[in-house]
Structure 1
Amino acid sequence: MFAGEGSDSGFAELDDVSATAYGLAVESGRFVREHIAEQLSLSEAEIARVEQVLCGVRLLQSMPGNPSELTPVTPDVAAASLVAPAERHIRDLQQAVTDVRAKLLALTPLYFEGRRLRNRLEAFDIITDVPRIQAMLNHLTQNCNSEMLTVQPGGARPADLLANARQAALSTLARGVRIRTIYQHTARNDLPTRSYVRDVTHHGAEIRTADEVIDRLIIYDREVAFLPERSCGERAPGAAIVREPTLVAFLCSVFEYLWDGASPYVVESQRSAASSDELRWSIIRLMANGYKDEMVARRLGMSVRTCRRHIADITEELEATSRFQAGYNAARREMQSGGVLPPIG
């Protein structure tokens, strides 16, 4: 059966009784109301309805020169007669859609030229509303076309943020967008971060770590960059949105510089780079420059407690009683190894 006349489709309804009556009409070669009504035990009103249905679906057609005599036609002829107007309407709509699309797409160069001029006038925006910032990040992530570059300082990422980031990253990667992210070495010790990295790298993301990185940075398609807001007072920090092409290109160059000096994040590695000699030498370097424990921890993306534990281990292994002596003993090791930093401990 198919939808009836007066239904949403606009076609007549072929029910079981009408279908049986059509079969009897095919057997006799014409639709004889009295004969079919007698065989199917139909009343005058019912046979009139059946006739109306069969005519509605074009299975009965009038004989030329004798409109009162109805003959059955094949279903394919009836279907062609019934749907032809609808098909013509569909073709007209498709042509109208094609015409509209072509006219609108012809404005594409004008749009991009206007956007280029607008970007020059709106090269920078400072957004202080955190929900609005997140909405903009979500929009740009969903519409990113080619590449997404991210620098995430501060060590391990919060587990709740990673859950949302995982879904967004996998969706973005599925569209063929390249994702590159730089963490700090201390992120390698965090189990939720390792799980996130394992999932996204399996689908094509590239992640590296470094001992020190710049502030948080997100760049979309090398066109729009997000930087953290400075001097926000007591409220939550906002973001600076950069669209100026020269500055965005510079930020991309900064990212590439950091990327070239970072180490690939290999989840299956048995040894965490965050507890390696590379991190310890970074701590020694900052200690030698006079940085206090709090500043060393902040720059290396770890807690002060963890930093102090590393410093205690380093001074013990270097047989030092002070920061100065630790730096001196470390320098001696470097000189004795011919400029190559040997393992500590």
Structure 2
Amino acid sequence: MSTPLDQRPATAPAPRAAHGEGNRFSRLLKQRELPVIVALVALVAYTSANNPAFLSPQGTKDLLLNATIIVILAAGQAMVIITRNVDLSVGSVLGLVAFGTGTVFSIAPEVPIPLVFLGGMLFGALLGAVNGALVTFAKVPALVITLGTLYIFRGLNNAWAGGTQYFAGDRPAEFGALSVDTVLGIPVITVLALVVVVAVAVFMGGTRPGRDLYAIGSDPDAARLFGIPVARRTLTVFIANGALAGLAGVLYTSRFNAVGATTGAGLELDVVAAAVVGGVAIFGGSGTILGAAIGAVLLNTITSSLTALQVDKFWQQAIVGVLILAAILIDRLAGLRRAKHLREKEGRHV
């Protein structure tokens, strides 16, 4: 005959399992990316309900293509912002690399495409190194440095390009096909962007240098005390961000019909907005690459959705502005709430 003691082990695990499921659900609700994903799904559902062509095969392909460049730029920008910095020159870097790519193809049409990608990334990395060196060694705030290099790089592009433009017909057909061909219905350049996001996300979350970037953004002085090479890590981040901007510049040349002196102008604000809307704290120390990528997709989808719904362009810009302010305020409130919770927890242990 069974006794109460015999039955206890069989019934004890149930509450623990339920408690574990509750904890997992609670953690899911606290994910910074969740509100962005919900907003994206709701936006797509509402737009497709009012305009069935929005999610047609061609419409979906256009959505992915339009987001691709910003997704790559947002991944790099997120790394910089996490370290409590910002890079406002990425649009100008993209413009220089894009025009440089067009120039290379005009001079040497038979140049191997992989070599063009490598050259574009190295060019971008060099420009990123200029930003990183000025920030780390001159110890001037990144906002000031990159605002200056934004205009310097743009001026160099204007002087280089002048009135010259390179069009789709000036590049090899196989290079332009990167934005036309698909893999399982996904454009090739979008697949490349996804690979970039996954690689950067793994670096940030799964390696010591990546985790160091979060420590630097949370408290640079404390990071130094723990032996983290703050200057070297910061310089590396700017170089990596420049390389990704260079990659985006090469893909821009494949994606769009023309590149010239104004290519990439104004993109820097969209990139910062994508990272912030995606949950990357503007004050550094928190956020994910995945969140920044989703934020980029959301902002591009908003523009496409409002265009499909025939909403005035002014309201498109206003809505993006509201989203940025809301993301910053929510992040600030969440930070204050976490600080209050930590103080209360420390008080209970005193």
Higher relative contact order (Cα pairs below 8 Å, separated by 6+ residues): 2
More strand by share: 1
* Larger relative helix fraction: 2
Larger radius of gyration: 1
What range is the shorter-chain TM-score in? under 0.3
Q: What TM-score results when the alignment is normalised by the length of structure 2? A: 0.21
